[in-house]
Chains A and B, each alone.
Chain A
Amino acid sequence: MKTYIVILTFLFLLSGVSAQVRLSGKVTDQKQMPLGGANIFLQGSYDGASTDSLGNFSFKTGLKGIQYLSATFIGYKPILRKLDLDSTKTIVLNFVLEETGGQSNEVMINAGAFEASDEKKAVMLRLFDIATTPSAQGDIFGALGSLPGVQKVGEDGRVFVRGGEGYETKTFMDGMLVETPYLSRMPDMPTRGRYSPMLFSGTLFSTGAYSAEYGQALSSIVDMKTNAPETEDKSSVSIMSVGIMGSTSKCWKNSSLSLSGDYVTSGLSNKINKQQVDWIKSPVGIDGTVMYRQKTGKTGMYKFFGTFNNSTSGMIYPNTQTGEKQNILLNGSNVYLNNTYNNMLGEKWMIKSGLVWNYDNQKFDLDNDQVVTNQKMIQAKFGFINFINDQTELKFGADWVNYSYEQKIRMNGNFRLPFSNNQLSGFAEMEYKLTKKFATRLGARIENSSLLNQTTFVPRFSGAYKTGNHSQVSLACGQFYQNPEEDYLKFAPQLKAEKADHLVMTWQYQTELRTFRVEGYLKKYSDLVKFTKPLAYDPLDYSNTGSGHAEGIDFFWRDKETFKSTDYWISYSWINARRNYKDYPSAAIPGYVSEHNLSVVYKRFFEKLHTFAAVTYSFASSRPYHDPNFSGFMNSKTNPYNDISLSLTYLLKCFGKPAVLHLMVNNLAGFNNVFGYNFTNTPNAAGYYESTPIKSPFVRQTILLISIML
């Protein structure tokens, strides 16, 4: 009996009904706004309560002695308080919770940058969007053309940003340099990117004032993030009106291997789609890509990306300048190997490293002459990120690029134009969030080029301030250097780097499904390469005395909310640009600049028809060109550019497997777009310089493909 009494007493004590303490109080945020639904509880017990809509809580506990009281709420830092429950019967205490970092409603430094990612929740464009933009024809760089700040330059195909030339946009893959991102191109014909958008999970596209991590780009950078490890074995085969494509992936516990390849031949397609080019040999391309991903430990990731490409084509080129018709044969080969390794070093440090090798060979046969160009590049890069605290992040690193170039010309004799360069760079950047609303980033980059015998030091700055729940203003500025193009350096290695200064101001409104953005910018160019005669052999003909400027406003509106199953975006850019460079006699609007550029992209899913439809309309105002029949420089203007492109994607089952039937039509309306004119070098008998228009290789292009998942 006695035992039972003891037990009962014990139980009584344990359950602690004897002396309860009442805890109550209020939970607010830093602005004294009540937080309803916060969880207040004593650690190691069930005792606790949720706050009501006014932030008040109250509960009783039988616990004794020293205890710990926790307050937690989603999106806020938890607080732990030590309490002595023996001293009193009622405890009143208030909590002020602080919002945690990294939330979507936090200020983000983004002036000049367009981010496309499959991982982040709030981004302006995703890779899927790029792959399904009809005017892009499946090309990453083509898709960037539907964004503000990018010029339509139909005869080139590269990315021309805010008054800058095509070479001023540099491409990166996982932060490492891609020296030759475009396929070799024929004169006056557009090129496209080497890599399929399907290989990447995200793209950072910056149209100005980017981070100090990136150098050697005067106007813009495109950083493509390769896919994460595959999570399931899969294979697919595609049959296109222009060739075949296949891919397969295999995955293991901590690693995955993907192989993909394609054979593209436009012979059949060029017969169906009316050509404005005399092909001797229709373009043929063969590509192979290997991707290997290996997780190391909990946080480490090694990525390998290797790709091989060969393309050939041949055409009869009406060389207006000389008045001759030339047979041109082009053969280009490229190998690119990209290795990166990232890992956390403890809690606060992260290492990012990479090693890249690029080999590119281009062979041009012009009638009996030949030009062979070889480029080799090795890049090694190390970077560290130190997460000092929630507000501060320090990033620094160094990279080394070894580049060698050799051009062999067989044309009335044999010539060899080689040069090589070692570029050593270091960068450091500090991001500091003063408050949740105000962030700044200050960085600097130092570069040394062995070829130019020049050391440059440039500062970069960005700041962003949140003006509302969904809006913010940003400002960014910086200086940028880029070595002159190979075509000049091969003749004149004494040249110095070209320079640009950027100032960008942005206002942005963004919710999950809508984005509106206005960005104004000022750009100043100096030390641009200037010469008196194109392709002059004399090094002294080249100097860094060119200059230029560009200013403009870009608008971007994207809306996925208003119309059901519909997504559309509108980009408009206005630009005012002048340059006095190359062989310009005076400052003028360069031939690739059109004052107004507009893109409208509209996508809709028709559920009943199982069809995804997309239409793009692109407009670019007149571009200037120089007509020697009239006085003055850059005295004439082309007609405006118009394009309507369409794509239809139909979902179906093929032999019981999911499949996609995809139809793309470029320039549906058959607009006769003229990008400029080539003129003869000497006038004809009547004293008139004859000309031929520069046009797209096709009037209208239709591509059909069926893709089957195996």
Chain B
Amino acid sequence: MKKSIVTLILVSLFSFGFSNETYEKAMSLSIEKLFQAKTIPENVEVANQFERISKTEKTEWLPLYYASFAYIMISYQESDNAKKDQFLDQAQKYLDQAMAIDPNESELYMLQGFLYPSRINIDPMNRGMVYMADMNKSLDKALELNPDNPRVYYLRATMTFHMPEAYGGGAAKALPLYQVAADKFKVFKPKTAISPNWGKEICDAEFKNVQEALKK
């Protein structure tokens, strides 16, 4: 009797550990694929993987976060504007579900801020004003929840860099923002192995470009 109780406890412990391990392993594999994905079908496939994980791990916001991220990437690759919006609707759907799981996660607000520029791209003249305001609100909230989130600083820097000087953009204005972002990336430690940890490379590369552009 005693033995079987021990066995049961052990089994439950093991199987718990096992499932957790499966989750993390599946996630790491998918994350790796996500950052290797180049085409729309590759991104869709990896988004589907994250969706499948999310259907089982109903209390985890990360699978939905990455699924949403994949669709934002797809929206940049797609050329048909109507489809772009459809992909962004899908990204927004995953993001909304993730927000419902953890309404106080800085990374989710950061991702929301990352989604809006793609909406703006479709029709800048008409959408610019509305979505810029929404984006800033999301990024403010992301910083409020985690003042050290480097991706927020990076997004601010790159948006500033790409904005016309009339609106307070340009390389000179972006430079100090890149500096802060790069510093934040240097000290950033992701909470877990599968937590968001992207952006350092592109931030450093853009930072370098901006520095060089200003030298000229």
Contacts and interface: CB of A to CB of B under 8 A. Distances in A.
Interface of A: 2-3, 6-7, 10-11, 14-15, 36-37, 39, 41, 43-50, 52-53, 70, 72, 74-75, 103-105, 118, 121-122, 126, 128-129, 231-232, 511-513, 560, 565, 567, 603, 605, 607, 610, 651-653
30 contacts: A6-B11, A7-B14, A10-B15, A14-B18, A37-B44, A37-B45, A37-B48, A41-B48, A41-B52, A45-B52, A45-B56, A46-B22, A46-B49, A46-B52, A46-B53, A50-B44, A50-B48, A104-B82, A104-B86, A129-B126, A231-B134, A512-B85, A513-B81, A513-B123, A560-B125, A565-B125, A567-B125, A605-B125, A607-B164, A610-B164
B82 A511 contact: yes
Contacts of A74: 86-87, 90
A70 B55 CA distance: 11
A312 to B, nearest CB: 35
Contacts of B10: 3, 7
A46 B126 contact: no
B159 interface: no
Contacts of B130: 118
Q: Which of A37, A72, A126 is packed against the most chain B CB atoms within 10 Å?
A: A37
A215 to B, nearest CB: 33
Contacts of A105: 82
A7 B7 contact: yes
Contacts of B41: 36-37, 52-53
B3 interface: yes
Nearest to A128: B126
Contact of B3 (A3, A36, A39): A3
Interface string B112-129: 000000000011011001
B133 interface: yes
B180 to A, nearest CB: 21
B6 interface: yes
Given A7-B11, A74-B86, 14 more contacts: A6-B11, A36-B41, A37-B44, A41-B52, A46-B22, A46-B56, A74-B90, A75-B86, A118-B130, A128-B126, A128-B129, A231-B137, A607-B166, A610-B164
A645 to B, nearest CB: 20
Contacts of A41: 48, 51-52, 55
10 shortest interchain CB distances as A-B pairs:
A610-B166, A512-B81, A37-B44, A39-B48, A50-B45, A50-B48, A41-B52, A48-B52, A607-B164, A651-B166
A126 B128 CA distance: 13
Contacts of B172: none
Contacts of B52: 39, 41, 45-48
A6 B123 CA distance: 63
Nearest to A10: B11
A513 B126 CA distance: 11
B168 interface: yes
Contacts of A129: 126
Interface of B: 3, 6-7, 10-11, 14-15, 18, 22, 26, 40-41, 44-45, 48-49, 51-53, 55-56, 81-82, 85-87, 90, 122-123, 125-126, 129-130, 133-134, 137, 164-168
A560 B45 contact: no
Contacts of A15: 18
A126 B127 CA distance: 10
Contacts of B167: 651
A560 B44 contact: no
A3 B48 CA distance: 39
A1 B175 CA distance: 64
B133 A232 contact: yes
B46 to A, nearest CB: 9
Given A14-B15, A232-B137, A513-B81, A44 B7 contact: no
B131 to A, nearest CB: 11
Contacts of A512: 81-82, 85, 122-123
Contacts of B40: 37
**Interface residue SS majority, chain A:** loop
Contacts of A231: 134, 137
A104 B133 CA distance: 25
**Interface residue SS majority, chain B:** helix
A48 B22 CA distance: 15
Contacts, number: 103
A547 B23 CA distance: 77
Nearest to A2: B3
Q: Which of B6, B40, B167 is packed against the most chain A CB atoms within 10 Å?
A: B167
Contact of A511 (B22, B81, B86): B81
A536 to B, nearest CB: 52
B103 to A, nearest CB: 14
A228 B145 CA distance: 27
Nearest to B48: A39
Contacts of A603: 125
Q: Which of B11, B14, B52 is packed against the most chain A CB atoms within 10 Å?
A: B52
Nearest to A103: B86
B44 A126 contact: no
Given A11-B18, A126-B126, A44 B81 contact: no
A53 B22 CA distance: 29
A161 to B, nearest CB: 26
Contacts of A50: 44-45, 48-49
Contacts of A607: 164, 166
A469 to B, nearest CB: 9
Contacts of A72: 51
A81 to B, nearest CB: 15
A122 B82 contact: yes
Contacts of A232: 133, 137
B18 A653 contact: no
Nearest to B130: A118
Contact of A11 (B15, B129, B137): B15
Nearest to A119: B130
Contacts of A70: 55
A118 B41 CA distance: 32
Nearest to B89: A74
B15 to A, nearest CB: 6
A334 B7 CA distance: 83
Contacts of A652: 166
Q: Which of A41, A52, A103, A651 is packed against the most chain B CB atoms within 10 Å?
A: A41
A52 B44 CA distance: 10
B7 A6 contact: yes
A36 B48 CA distance: 12
A3 B1 CA distance: 12
Contacts of A10: 11, 14-15
B15 A44 contact: no
Contacts of A126: 126
A579 B148 CA distance: 73
A54 B48 CA distance: 17
A659 B164 CA distance: 15
A47 B26 CA distance: 11
Contacts of A565: 125
A509 to B, nearest CB: 14
B3 to A, nearest CB: 6
Contacts of A49: 48
B120 to A, nearest CB: 13
A18 to B, nearest CB: 16
Contacts of A122: 82
A513 B125 CA distance: 11
Contacts of B53: 46
A4 to B, nearest CB: 9
A633 B177 CA distance: 75
